[in-house]
């Protein structure tokens, strides 16, 4: 039978090995949100095309029995960045905006990946979704990252307005910023810009690129949705929106990979692509051969 492999432990072990190498590789971790196990064409989906992500599977190593540490967002992210079980670092559940339903506080003595990688000579950055605390002491630049360009909160209520419960959480380091456009495109461009800047230096970089996609409400650009519905008229409206969102995400991943190649750092970069948990039933995600959905400890959730 397949051995359960928790994401956090394997990733941290690989990165520890990488930092011990004489010629240290760049490290790019792309974490997507609520991706269904069966929602890539390389994993059996018949109603979308995900060529850029699929190419990563073809040219690299694919793990089919690779488990997230939790079936919801924050705990998996805490485990991923700390290499420890999420309960041990204070995040047993979802970190939320309001105290009455908040289920975590990232402990101050928890050691995160950037704190380990920086002494090895790495410049460290997070672009995208943080979701590990809104407190001043728990912002990314206070937890070891050299650079943060992203969203402090959890889900976005709108991918164009970038708000959560009316609050503005987009930041560059610790300063509010007001970018315009779709969040997936914004995070992609910020990642492309960061790679371009770091390629000019001689130091290796660690980039944690955490997309909000394809978490609900998952609005793809309207043109993408209409094009998708024409291509697959038999599927539901909700499924069409989700799959258009995923194809949009795939284009973003392709842009990031193309930038690595254009800057001639592709051959010296370790790239990990993973999801924080399984697909959401409410969004009509497809977890393929696995039972259950996000929020469940069945394999479809983890």
Strands 147-151 and 170-172: antiparallel
At 273, give phi and psi (nearest 5°): -120, 125
List the one residue out of 260, 264, 142 whose CA is nearest residue 209: 260
Q: Which two tokens stand for residue 139?
A: 């912002």
Q: Which residues of 8-42 are buried (b: 16+ CB within 10 A; e: fewer)?
A: bbebbeebeebbeeeebbbbbbbbbbbbbbbbbbe
Q: Distance (Å, rounded) from C-alpha 46 to C-alpha 281?
A: 18
Active site residues: 73, 131
Q: Distance (Å, rounded) from C-alpha 40 to C-alpha 47?
A: 9
* DSSP bridge pairs for 270: 27
The helix-helix angle for 51-59 and 237-262 (nearest 10°) equals 50
Cβ within 8 Å of residue 242, ≥6 positions away: 39, 214, 218, 283, 284, 285
Q: Distance (Å, rounded) from C-alpha 281 to C-alpha 302?
A: 14
């Amino acid at each position: 039978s397949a051995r359960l492999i928790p994401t956090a432990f394997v990733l941290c072990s690989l990165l520890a090995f990488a930092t011990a190498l004489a010629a240290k590789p760049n490290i790019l971790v792309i974490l997507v949100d609520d991706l269904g196990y069966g929602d890539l064409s390389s994993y059996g989906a018949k109603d979308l095309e995900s060529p850029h992500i699929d190419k990563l599977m073809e040219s690299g190593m694919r793990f089919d029995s690779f488990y997230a540490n939790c079936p919801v967002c924050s705990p998996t992210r805490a485990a991923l960045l700390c290499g420890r079980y999420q309960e041990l670092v204070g995040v047993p559940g979802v970190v939320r905006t309001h105290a009455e339903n908040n289920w975590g506080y990232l402990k101050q003595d928890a050691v995160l990946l950037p704190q380990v990688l920086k002494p090895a000579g790495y410049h460290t950055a997070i672009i995208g979704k943080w979701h590990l605390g809104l407190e001043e002491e728990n912002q990314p630049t206070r937890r070891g990252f050299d650079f943060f360009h992203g969203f402090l909160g959890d889900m976005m209520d709108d991918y164009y307005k970038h708000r959560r419960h009316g609050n503005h959480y987009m930041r560059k380091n610790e300063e509010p910023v007001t970018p315009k456009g779709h969040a997936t495109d914004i995070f992609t461009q910020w990642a492309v810009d960061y790679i371009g800047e770091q390629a000019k230096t001689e130091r290796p970089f660690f980039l944690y690129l955490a997309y909000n996609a394809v978490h609900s409400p998952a609005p793809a650009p309207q043109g993408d949705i209409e094009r998708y519905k024409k291509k697959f008229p038999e599927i539901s409206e909700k499924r069409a929106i989700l799959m258009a969102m995923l194809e949009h995400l795939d284009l973003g991943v392709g842009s990031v990979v193309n930038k690595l190649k254009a800057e001639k750092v592709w051959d010296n970069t370790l790239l990990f692509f993973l999801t924080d948990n399984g697909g959401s039933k409410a969004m009509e995600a497809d977890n393929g051969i696995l039972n259950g959905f996000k929020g469940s400890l069945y394999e479809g959730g983890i």
